[in-house]
Amino acid sequence: MSQPDPSVLEEIGQLRVALNDANYRYYALDEPTLTDADYDRQLQRLQQLESEYPDQVVPDSPTQRVGSAPTEGFPEVAHAIPMLSLDNAFSRDDIVAFAQRVAERLECQVDDIEFSCEPKLDGAAVSLVYEQGVLVIGATRGDGRTGEGITSNLRTLRSVPLKLVGDELPALVEVRGEVIMRHSGFEALNERAREEGSKVFANPRNAAAGSLRQLDPRITATRPLEFHAYQAARLEPDLGDTTHSALMQRLSKLGFRTSTELTTMRGPEAVADYCDQLGAKRDQLGYDIDGVVIKVNDLRHQRELGFVARAPRWAVAFKFPAQEEVTTLNDVEFQVGRTGAITPVARLEPVTVAGVTVSNATLHNADEIIRLGVMIGDTVAIRRAGDVIPQVVRVDEEKRPADARAITFPDHCPVCGSDIERLEGEAVARCSGGLYCAAQRKEALKHFASRKALDIDGLGEKLIEQLVDQEWVKTPADLFHLSVEQLKSLPRMGEKSATNLVNALEKAKQTTLARFIYALGIREVGEATAANVANHFGTLQALQDADQAALEAVNDVGPIVAKHIHTFFRQPHNLETLQVLIEAGITWQESEVTQGPTPLEGQTWVLTGAMESMTRDEGKARLQALGAKVAGSVSKKTTCLVAGEAAGSKLTKAEQLGVEVIDEATFIDRLTAWERSE
Ligand SMILES: [Zn+2]
């Protein structure tokens, strides 16, 4: 192996310092100095150098956070100092009683005792051991005496320093803290799980604990986890700090993120006020806390007070009301979203969860109902935390009443009665009455009027919302019956704009079949598919009459899109709406389709680079309509390559293989000629 050049060694060193410093500033000080892009760029450079010189890789390199290979299981780690639990306090009286017990033992006045208070994070407790400033062990709490060694997983958290910061580092440092997941990260993780059909986590704590115990650290590396330090269990030699709050500042200087809410105060009344204030702020923190940790701040006093049984006498955990409560599921209703998605909503026996009355909770989708195994009449656990929508997290099957009913997903939209479509492998069920369904009215109209659809000038989103709210427009056809008189009575609408809009509507009536099909807003029918379908069938009637097999014969239309189109034209309400639109005067040029051979039958085309006059999808659709196959790469079988702006490797390859290459202008000329002769 080649020995790196001194300049390479220097660059590796500089990159590590820069990246570690960026992590420290970002996570411990909350003062980001590098943009994410800069961080990634420097990290990639370091990865590249380390892969060239593997001898130079060290365990505390920032590249080691991406996660090492999976392990068989986790080794046991005995905690040198047990990770104890704290006694709980639930009220102001409990806090006062705790302070009095402390005062009696210390033989002083309660109001003279200084307490340190900080939020009690709701995540997974872990312990980190550093020798000579380098992380050597990371472990879970376990039973308090023995935990599991999850060092490789903890290394992947950017808020866990791999190397401590500063010149004077204690030989041994053991830090305890909580690994948490913020609400935003938790929601995103569950959203992804729902889409992939994998298990959703009940709450951020389970998500954090589950992510930490992955056997494959590369999975942990993808989870949005943060470490927050709250205790220095061992500092050898100790650096002379005399209070808990000073120790926390010390940890921050060593590179750890500590609580920004940590405050010291004297007397139990001030402590109780702090608990009230933090409780009121709880929903706005963006992460779960379940209480306040109250500690006697003076470390000498802590030693004097000592321990009783398994808990220290110098600390107590004030607990907030639980964010999970148990209640009865009275019924399930189905809501229709603005894009037609059907969501089951649990109607609950009202219950107070963390100070708020909850009578509805989401059940997400049909898969989630099956996963929970929930029935109407069941006793269920409800969770409400901060900005997260209340959700049903568990079912107590032992309490299931004899008359419990299964939840049946409706076949028809509860708002408009159209068929509900749920495709295999898709979690979400949808109403197929896009044009007619009142729940989807605004979105459907916005799409109908949009530039690539009927292109109605002056009919913007705000105006559409006004027209729907006034109940002047229920279906797209109603748009064409609006009068200048009516429109100019709207706020901020003058005679001139009203006239312009009526004229624009009149003009939009003359359209094309492709635009009209696109405007209908059939699921997954974009402009290219609409153009293909229009070319293939030629008339609306032929499209309406087509069965699934006939639809699948269209270029680029697979079984799923065929099913969407077929279902759409089987909804009586949709057909009525189409009829009314045509009666309102919408017209287009229909063409009888020639069933003869298509001019480009048997040819394979490739499109590359950007074109000015059309998107690549449009070009593809038009070629396919002429019978050509459109491929993604150039080979000997390629008939012709269309090279747009900035064409790259495909152009080179085509030239090497002697494939015909044409530019955009030639392409359009030929397309138009073929389309005319067809
Ligand atoms: Zn509907």
**Are 570 and 544 contacting, i.e. CB atoms less than 8 angstroms apart?**
no
118 in a known ligand binding site: yes
| pLDDT at residue 25 is higher than 90 | no
Question: Do 513-588 and 450-508 fall under one CATH topology?
Answer: yes
Domain boundaries, the chain: 6-65, 88-318, 321-435, 450-508, 513-588, 604-677
User: Considering the domain 88-318, what is its CATH architecture?
Assistant: 2-Layer Sandwich (3.30)
Instruction: Give the model confidence (pLDDT) of 59-108 as tens digits.
Output: 778 877 766 666 667 889 999 988 888 888 988 999 999 999 999 999 99
CATH number 1.10.1740.10 is the correct assignment for the domain at 321-435: no
pLDDT given for residue 69 in this prediction: 63
Q: What does the DSSP assignment read for 359-422?
A: EEEE--SHHHHHHHT--BT-EEEEE--TTSPPEEEEEEGGG--TT-B-----SB-TTT-PBEE-
Mean pLDDT of the chain: 88
Tell which residue, 537, 581, 532, has the closest CA to residue 524. Answer: 532
Kindly tell me the burial class for residue 35, based on how many C-beta atoms sit within 10 Å of its own C-beta (0-12, 13-18, 19 or more): exposed
Compute, in angstroms, the gap from residue 594 CA to the centroid of ligand 1.
Answer: 37
pLDDT given for residue 308 in this prediction: 81
At 3, the amino acid letter reads Q
At 178, the amino acid letter reads E
Instruction: Give the model confidence (pLDDT) of 153-186 as tens digits.
Output: 999 998 999 999 988 899 999 999 999 999 999 9
Instruction: Give the model confidence (pLDDT) of 633-673 as tens digits.
Output: 888 889 999 998 887 888 888 988 889 999 998 998 888 88
345 alpha-carbon distance from chain centroid: 21
169 in a known ligand binding site: no
108 in a known ligand binding site: no
pLDDT given for residue 228 in this prediction: 96
Compute, in angstroms, the gap from residue 417 CA to the centroid of ligand 1.
Answer: 6
Compute, in angstroms, the gap from residue 557 CA to the centroid of ligand 1.
Answer: 25
Order across the sheet with 629-631: list the strands. 629-631, 604-608, 640-643, 660-662
188 in a known ligand binding site: no
Compute, in angstroms, the gap from residue 366 CA to the centroid of ligand 1.
Answer: 17
Choosing from 120, 163, 620, 650, which is the catalytic residue?
A: 120
At 669, the amino acid letter reads D
Task: Give the separation between CA 384 and CA 393, rounded to whole angstroms.
Answer: 10
pLDDT given for residue 450 in this prediction: 92
Which one is the CATH code of 6-65: 1.10.287.610, 1.10.760.10, 1.10.1040.10, 1.10.10.10? 1.10.287.610
Q: Provide the total of helices (H) and of strands (E) in the chain, helices listed first.
A: 25, 26
pLDDT given for residue 194 in this prediction: 67
413 in a known ligand binding site: yes
Compute, in angstroms, the gap from residue 344 CA to the centroid of ligand 1.
Answer: 14
At the topology level, CATH places domain 450-508 in DNA polymerase; domain 1 (1.10.150)
24-29 long-range CB contacts below 8 Å, 24 or more apart? Answer: 24/161, 24/165, 24/255, 26/158, 27/158, 27/159, 27/226, 27/257, 28/159, 28/161, 28/165, 28/252, 28/255, 28/256, 28/257, 28/258, 29/252
Establish whether the linkage from the previous residue to 237 is cis, with ω within 30° of 0: yes
| pLDDT at residue 595 is higher than 70 | no
Alpha helix stretches (DSSP H) within 554-663: 559-568, 572-583, 616-625, 649-657
Q: Which residue has the tokens 């390479």?
A: 8
Mean pLDDT for 132-139 is 94
Comparison of pLDDT for 306 and 24, the residue scoring more: 306
85 in a known ligand binding site: yes
When mean pLDDT is compared over 28-32, 320-324, 580-584, 616-620, the highest value belongs to: 580-584
Comparison of pLDDT for 461 and 329, the residue scoring more: 329
pLDDT given for residue 22 in this prediction: 83
Angle among Cα 313, 318, 321 to the nearest 5 degrees reads 150
pLDDT given for residue 278 in this prediction: 94
- Find residue 308's DSSP bridge partners: 311
Comparison of pLDDT for 598 and 245, the residue scoring more: 245
3-state SS, residue 332? strand
Task: Give the separation between CA 533 and CA 568, rounded to whole angstroms.
Answer: 14
Q: What is the DSSP letter of 72?
A: S
Q: Which CATH superfamily is domain 513-588 in?
A: 5' to 3' exonuclease, C-terminal subdomain (1.10.150.20)
Instruction: Give the model confidence (pLDDT) of 533-587 as tens digits.
Output: 998 899 999 999 999 989 988 888 888 899 999 999 999 989 999 999 999 999 9
Confidence of residue 2 (pLDDT cuts 50, 70, 90): low
Comparison of pLDDT for 139 and 42, the residue scoring more: 139
Tell which residue, 539, 543, 561, 540, has the closest CA to residue 552. Answer: 561
462 is catalytic: no
User: Considering the domain 604-677, what is its CATH architecture?
Assistant: 3-Layer(aba) Sandwich (3.40)
| pLDDT at residue 386 is higher than 70 | no
**Are 673 and 651 contacting, i.e. CB atoms less than 8 angstroms apart?**
no
Instruction: Give the model confidence (pLDDT) of 316-357 as tens digits.
Output: 999 887 788 899 999 999 988 877 888 899 999 999 887 788
pLDDT given for residue 419 in this prediction: 92
Compute, in angstroms, the gap from residue 522 CA to the centroid of ligand 1.
Answer: 13
Task: Give the separation between CA 35 and CA 71, rounded to whole angstroms.
Answer: 33
Burial 629-662 (b: 16+ CB within 10 A, else e): bbeeebeeebebbbbbeebeebbebbeeeebebe
Confidence of residue 120 (pLDDT cuts 50, 70, 90): very high
